[in-house]
Amino acid sequence: MASLKRSLDSDPLAANISSKVYVRSTKSGKVQKIVREVYLRQDIPCSSKLCRRCLNTSPRDAAGQPRPFVLSEAPAGTSVFQQGHYLVPDTNAFLTAMDLFEQDSAFYDVIVLQIVLEELRNRSLPLYNRLISLTKSEEKRFYVFFNEFRLETHVTRQDGESVNDRNDRAVRKAVAWYGEHLAGTGAPKVPAVVMLTNDRDNLRKAKAEKIPACSLAQYVNQLKDAEALLDMIPDTEDQETIIKDKRPGDPLYPEYFTISKLMTGVKNGLLHQGIFNVSLYNYLEGSIRVPAFPKPLIILGRENINRSIDGDLVVVEVLPKDQWKEPSTQVIEEDAVTKNENPDAEETGDIVSEKERKTLQEEVKRTQNKTTEGHAQPTAKVVGVVKRNWRQYVGHIDQSSVSQSSQQGRKQDTVFVIPMDKKIPKIRLRTRQVAELVGKRILITIDTWDRSSRHPTGHFVRSLGELETKAAETEALLLEYDVQYRPFPKTVLDCLPKEGHDWKVPGSVDDPGWRDREDLRGLLICSIDPIGCQDIDDALHSRPLPNGNIEVGVHIADVSHFVKPNNAMDTEASIRGTTVYMVDKRIDMLPMLLGTDLCSLKPYVERYAFSVLWELSPEADIVNVRFTKSVIKSREAFSYEEAQLRVDDHSQQDELTTSIRTLLALSRKLKQKRLDAGALSLSSPEVKVQMESETSDPIDVKTKELLDTMSLVEEFMLLANVSVARKIYDAFPQTAILRRHGAPPKTNFDELANQLRVKRNLDLSVESSRALADSLDACVDPSEPFFNTLVRIMATRCMMAAEYFCAGTQAYPEFRHYGLASEIYTHFTSPIRRYADLMAHRQLAAAIGYEGLHPAVRSRGRLEAVCKNINVRHRNAQLAGRASIAYYVGQALKGRSEAAVEDGFVLKIFSNGFVVLVPRFGIEGLIRLRDLAEPEPAAEFDAETYTLKTRGSREVTVELFGKVRVNVMDQKDEVTGKRGVKMELVSVY
């Protein structure tokens, strides 16, 4: 009886075929063995400009041209590789130090092996995307070499070899091959091919095989500006030794569950998954909203938060009922509590520091004093992190964490970085440049958060400049809110019309640009915008019709004429999503040429427009509506103030002014209708920073004035948006881009309603937007006119955020815009500054048969992705704008000689402090008990009546909604070097 294994040698092509076998687990729980055949080839080029052989054999494109080679013929050298060198990093090098590779000063001519790229994609998608964009940039000369498909560099896994070992071997083999291959080119100066890895084993093997290899640190040391670059290498090597030195078994945090355990738990409803949010006022308290419960779960304390950072997608387990707690009524700020921690000391003790423990004790005391147990809310603890949402953070070094010795000298030192975002914990940073970096805004990333370390560990990316310089602070804001502020790349600018600023509406009506356009140049159209507005999106006109009705037209810049779907400019705009307005700066969504000139509906010149024309009855009912592309000529560009003056001036009786008056009258009726339907008039404190025109230094802060003309423009824009929404939804019930504002869950208002009932005996009914609007109207305090606005501001904060969505993703009743009380709504009127409007333009153009619908605007999956992005961008833009105002308000205060004494209102009360809103500056500030007097006065906090009574060193009674007088100033915390608006209580009314 014989047995035989068929040998593959009989197959002449066997050498060229290999296979890759792995197990794939699908989402639905299937487990498959996957076999991929790999066909090995020899025509994959090395892409070095030195090599002629590869150039001859490399594959050609349709035009018979090979792809241009990437790697330079004379690459830069280092102190060790003076003949020049190419770099071949392994996966870990990219994983740990992607920032290094993005440097301008070094890291050119890099060979990215396919195996490395694939591994990186599996490990971290964001890093993969960053690497891909590096390989696309021409300056950096990154070349992706498909080593797995090239016969000479393919490596088959050996018996008993782990995947990692095999991949390391593949990297070494590729490096070796490159070395031999380049030596064979006969070039006078053959560059070295250097492997970059931090893996000791790999380095050792490379040495044995005589392959040039360096660890990241070794390599960076060979470069010129080693010092600065060294900080960007996370010190994994050092950590390894530290961990080895340390006694085992003192992890501070509980271990996470395994992925499979998490998934099983979530599926069975035993564990819950959601996004972790940190409380603004208490860094030791977080909440997580999970689908299973109507109210968010509370996560209290460091141990339960278990290394999650705001924004992470985590899995939590509900704690037993005896551990349920009330949400804290205390303000706990990380800076204050952990002020004097030593970053060098490896925490050997408990995870909760003495001070933290003390604050917790007070908490417990307070809870136990309570007789009412019904207030306790379910708490939870984090048992696993599904997805980290770590990004780069802007912050500054905590001066108190810098030891004296490190002010001089170049030795590596550990310091704390306080992120700008209060919700992000302190980050431990090891750097050699402490002296330079103190007092600077710096950008850092988090690398890890081990179980054994109280704070996350990160590394330095770059410095933005001195703290409190305008450039650094503005850039910090832009980075923090992920605003794309780099100049438009050339590919985008290439999409602009060739004529540049000389572009004109073609004179001849036969020109293709005039196709299907209505000539509305004869109409008396004008635009009304804020002062100094350059990107004029919209213009209006009205004229009486013979039948007694009125024709009203809203004309919107025809941006879709210039921005064609799917070109580079469109892609860039869809990524930017919106224009961001800062106090002193505007980050455009579209290049200047379009935004402020060609699209902008400037006065006295002809412009393409997209017009919505209504026939309205004198009662402002819509008789008829139509949409058309048009050519208009605006007669005048008014500012709100100018328009208001003109309308109020009864001596002005020209046609244009009367038409504005007609519009004004109609807009009042429209507004009344809207309010009758239950539209909310909400409020947020808005201020305007006045700048000195020369130096653009802020000199004063003013609250925004409300003018009739503002509401005129607003009403007609709303009307246009609603009309367009109906039209595009009719035409594209699946793909129309709409905007919705969900009704807020009732529980959101629970606290506010309770506060109003207790403090003012007012009733807040929230059954519908109409009921809410009415009860908000009823919230008046005759003695305090601002009270109503205050309640509106607080009510606004209970609302959901409005969002863009694709019609097919929601049922029709869900389309409702709660705030505007409209069944359906979209954004159409600001295509220059919002991408959603641009998409609505394209859909409307298709709906009226002006042009076909581009596939990009038709595919629902793509539209959903775009919506998701612009929702985020929109929110970030708002936050960035507000942060910018807050910063400038601070700067304006700093400029004053004496502190400003202003009226304020108490928004929120804690047991050890309260939050005051100062409407004059639109800012909020926290006043803690210990700020009231020295020593800290004792206080009695009554959560039932929202009253805080202090005794002892100073006696005041602070009540919710109470009016107080505060001293507002700008203050720098000497210890942490953090500057912020500071308030001091002067008196209570």
Which residues in this chain contact other proteins in the complex, by CB under 8 A? Answer: 1-6, 19, 21-25, 29-31, 33, 35, 157, 161-163, 258-261, 263-265, 267-268, 270
Asked if 656 and 524 count as a contact pair (C-beta separation under 8 A), the reply is yes
The nearest distance, CB 34 to other proteins, in angstroms, is 8
Nearer to other proteins among residue 7 and residue 404 (C-beta): 7
Residue 344 · residue 411 · CB < 8 Å: no
Output the smallest distance, CB 25 to other proteins, in A: 6
Taking the complex as a whole, the smallest distance from the CB of residue 276 to other proteins amounts, in Å, to 21
Backbone angles phi, psi at 517, to 5 degrees: -100, 140
Q: Which residues of 830-850 are buried (b: 16+ CB within 10 A; e: fewer)?
A: bbbbbbbbbbbbbbbbbbbeb
Least CB distance to other proteins at residue 31 (A): 5
Query: CB of 351: closest distance to other proteins in angstroms?
Result: 22
For residue 23, the minimal CB distance to other proteins (Å) is 4
Q: Which residues of 888-899 are buried (b: 16+ CB within 10 A; e: fewer)?
A: bbbbbbeeeeeb
Nearer to other proteins, 4 or 811 (CB): 4
Both structure tokens of 869: 């992005």
18 vs 560, beta carbon nearer other proteins: 18
C-beta of 26 vs 372, nearer to other proteins: 26
Residue whose CB is less far from other proteins, 315 or 772: 315
The half-sphere exposure of 342 on its side-chain side, counting CA atoms within 13 A, is 7
CA angle 111, 113, 119 (to 5 degrees): 135
How many CB atoms lie under 10 A from the CB of residue 242?
A: 13
700, β-bridge pairs: 690
- Minimum Å gap between C-beta 265 and other proteins is 6
Compute φ and ψ for 176, nearest 5 degrees: -60, -45
Q: Residue type for 562, please?
A: F
Give the count of beta carbons closer than 10 Å to the beta carbon of residue 625: 18
Please give the single-letter amino acid code of residue 635: R
CB of 390 to other proteins, least distance (A): 24
- Between the two ends of the chain, the Cα-to-Cα distance in Å is 106
Residue 32 Cβ vs other proteins, minimum distance, rounded to whole Å: 9
Smallest distance, Å, CB 10 to other proteins? 13
**162 versus 761: smaller Cβ distance to other proteins:** 162
Nearest by Cα to 281 from 338, 324, 335? 335
Distances (CA, A) of 8 to 11, 12, 14, 16: 6, 9, 6, 12
Per-residue burial over 448-462, b if 16 or more Cβ lie within 10 Å, else e, is ebeebbbbbbbbbbb
Rounded to whole angstroms, the Cα distance separating 131 from 662 reads 58
Compare residues 264 and 859 and give the one whose CB is closer to other proteins. 264
Q: How far apart are CA 106 and CA 702, in angstroms?
A: 48
Give the count of beta carbons closer than 10 Å to the beta carbon of residue 466: 12
Whether cis (ω within 30° of 0) applies to the bond prior to 935 is: yes
Instruction: Take residue 625 and report the two structure tokens written for it.
Output: 């509506």
**Minimum Å distance from CB 5 to other proteins?**
5
CB nearer other proteins, residue 5 or residue 490: 5
CB of 970 to other proteins, least distance (A): 53
* CA distance linking residue 301 with residue 303, whole number of Å: 6
163-183 and 200-208 helices, crossing angle to 10°: 40
The tokens for 213 are 């290899």
Whichever of 6 and 650 has its CB closer to other proteins, that residue is 6
Closest distance to other proteins from the beta carbon of 98 (Å): 24
Residue nearer to other proteins on the CB measure, 5 or 210: 5
Q: What is the DSSP letter of 565?
A: T
Nearer to other proteins, 20 or 930 (CB): 20
CB of 2 vs other proteins, minimal distance in Å: 6
> Residue 121 or 295: which CB sits closer to other proteins?
121
Smallest separation, CB 253 to other proteins (Å): 17
Angle at 117 between CA 115 and CA 118, to 5 degrees: 65
In the bound state with other proteins, the residue whose beta carbon lies nearer, of 6 and 136, is: 6
CA distance 664 to 542: 10
Query: Residue 575's closest CA among 906, 838, 869?
Result: 869
Q: How wide is the angle at C-alpha 449 spanned by C-alphas 445 and 453, nearest 5°?
A: 125
Distance CA 466, CA 440 (A): 4
Residue 803 near residue 740 (C-beta atoms within 8 A) = yes
| Minimum CB distance to other proteins smaller for 4 or for 531 | 4
The CB-of-117 to other proteins minimum distance in angstroms stands at: 18
Distance, in Å, from the CA atom of 525 to the CA atom of 513, rounded to the nearest integer, reads 21
Closer to other proteins by Cβ: residue 315 or 844? 315
513-515-519-525 Cα dihedral, nearest 10 degrees: -60
CB nearer to other proteins: pick between 17 and 509: 17
Q: At what angle do helices 769-778 and 786-797 cross, to 10 degrees?
A: 150
Least CB distance to other proteins at residue 261 (A): 5
Please state the length of the chain.
Answer: 989
What does the buried/exposed string (b/e) look like for 732-755 if buried means 16 or more CB atoms within 10 Å of the residue's CB? beebbbbbbbebbeeebbeebbeb
CB neighbour list of residue 896: distance below 8 Å, 6 or more residues apart? none
Nearer to other proteins, 29 or 785 (CB): 29
Smallest distance from the beta carbon of 206 to other proteins, in angstroms? 24
Nearer Cβ to other proteins, position 167 or 433? 167
